Amino acid sequence: MELTTDRALQAAQRLELALDKLAVAVERKFASMQAAAQAAAADSVPRSEVVALSTRLDQALAQLRTAMLDEGAQAEEQEPC
């Protein structure tokens, strides 16, 4: 039985070493994920600014449509029938 105990002890030691390595790898991965999340949060634009920009863009497009329609109407008026 002594041989079995030695093998079991060796297997337990290898398992413990593997678990230690896994714990270190998980900690590193978690730290890098936190750093990436913080960087992404720092790079993001506040929602209120996006809404304001969207509103201004919608207004500019409406003005452009109006100007194009007015220009088209004027061109039709100037064309001889």
Is the same domain home to 34 and 1? Answer: yes
Q: Which domain holds residue 74?
A: 45-81
Residues 6 and 16 placed together within one structural domain of the fold: yes
pLDDT value, residue 74: 79
DSSP state of 66: H
* CA distance from start to end of the chain: 111
What was the pLDDT predicted at 13?
93
pLDDT tens over the chain, length 81 residues: 455 678 888 999 999 999 999 999 999 999 999 888 888 777 788 889 999 999 999 999 999 999 998 887 777 777 765
Q: How far, in Å, CA of 27 to CA of 34, rounded? A: 11
Distances in whole angstroms, Cα of residue 67 to Cα of each of 52, 72, 73: 23, 9, 10
Number of domain units in the chain:
2
pLDDT at 72: 78
Look at residue 2 in the predicted model and tell me its pLDDT: 55
Query: Would you mind telling me the total number of residues written for the chain in this entry?
Result: 81
The encoded tokens of residue 63 equal: 């003005």
Same domain assignment for residues 18 and 56: no
